[in-house]
Homo-oligomer: A and B are copies of this chain.
Amino acid sequence: MTNPHRVLALAGGVGGAKLAVGLAALLGERLTVLVNTGDDFEHLGLHVSPDIDTVVYTLAGIANPTTGWGIVDETWTFMDQVERLGGPTWFRLGDRDLATHVTRTERLRRGDTLTAITADFCRSFAIRPTVLPMSDDPIRTIIHSGGQTIAFQDYFVRQQCAPKIYGLSFAGAETAKLNPRLDEMQGADRPLAVIICPSNPWLSVAPILALPGIAARLKAFGVPIIAVSPIVGGRAIKGPTAKIMSELGLEPSASAIARHYAGLIDAFVIDRADAASADAIAALGIAVHQAQTVMRTTHDSVALARECLAFAAALSDRSA
């Protein structure tokens, strides 16, 4: 086996990127991150892939730690001038970040795939893991809110997640093809585990899981599928997960997340703060591991990644 510890991680933006950093520190090029592209949209004529960029910038060590998006030490001259020209300013593109969007848009128009473009960005930033868009086909997350539909970035950025969510759909998902690079993860490249990062299960992970055949593909690896809870002590670590759960009639809890993923996952990592939920989750037939899941520093990310890998190894041994 040339890659005895390959891991496939499913990730959205910030929360997913944080665990990816920890996994990357331990696995290097043996990590593959499959990233949500349901947030992608065209803005000012440019193709923006927010979750891919957050994962890439975070792995490159250039992510802006305060905003949760964009690049650190950014300048805003472009945006100031767009405003002067009367253009839209609700979605802010920094001058440095803009190089990503302009380069990507030009290459997509020339016929390059998002996978190839992302791989080149990773090379430019000397990122060792493989970062894959979930698909090279366009998929757009749509929010259903009281009779109206809202495009994702309109909901997430412009309206700051204020509209109540009644449901979500993923336009294009039914005909989209899963990233073909996943086909290569077999034989010696078969992963040791699939890890669903603590990203928002509805906004960030659901678009990935909406791809035709993804669940069967993940199960066919025959390795533990482990999710990490994005809910700690009844609260989302970041973002609107708890709010959305309430709107969908769910109690914002680690147990509810486990029930949401039941049928797909073999195991679930919860925070020690949620120790009381362990039995209820185990009763679903899901193996439970308790850890410190809140990632404030890279050290936290590496520690959680280490726990996830050890948990996966233990689960593999148990089933072997």
Contact = CB atoms under 8 A, between A and B. Distances in A.
Contacts of A45: 102, 105-106, 109
Nearest to A109: B45
Contacts of A84: 99, 124
A162 interface: no
A78 B106 contact: no
A103 B79 CA distance: 11
A81 B96 contact: yes
20 contacts: A44-B103, A45-B102, A71-B81, A75-B75, A75-B77, A77-B77, A78-B96, A78-B98, A78-B99, A79-B99, A81-B95, A81-B98, A81-B99, A84-B99, A85-B100, A85-B124, A86-B120, A87-B99, A95-B98, A98-B98
Nearest to A98: B78
A74 interface: yes
Nearest to A108: B45
Contacts of A103: 44, 82, 85, 87
B106 A44 contact: yes
Nearest to A99: B81
Contact of A85 (B74, B80, B99, B109): B99
Contact of A82 (B44, B71, B75, B99): B99
Given A78-B78, A87-B103, 7 more contacts: A44-B106, A77-B94, A78-B102, A81-B96, A81-B99, A82-B102, A102-B102
Query: How many copies of this protein are present in the complex?
Result: 2
A170 interface: no
Contacts of A100: 81, 85
A94 B100 CA distance: 15
A46 interface: yes
B75 A95 contact: yes
A69 interface: no
Nearest to A43: B106
Contacts of A311: none
A103 to B, nearest CB: 5
A37 to B, nearest CB: 19
Interface string A101-139: 011011001000000000011001000000000000000
A255 B112 CA distance: 53
Contacts of A98: 78, 81, 95, 98
A87 B120 CA distance: 11
A-B pairs, top 8 by smallest CB distance, nearest first, are A45-B106, A81-B99, A77-B95, A95-B95, A75-B77, A81-B96, A82-B99, A78-B95
A80 B62 CA distance: 14
The winner among A78, A105, A106, A109 for most chain B CB atoms within 10 A is A78
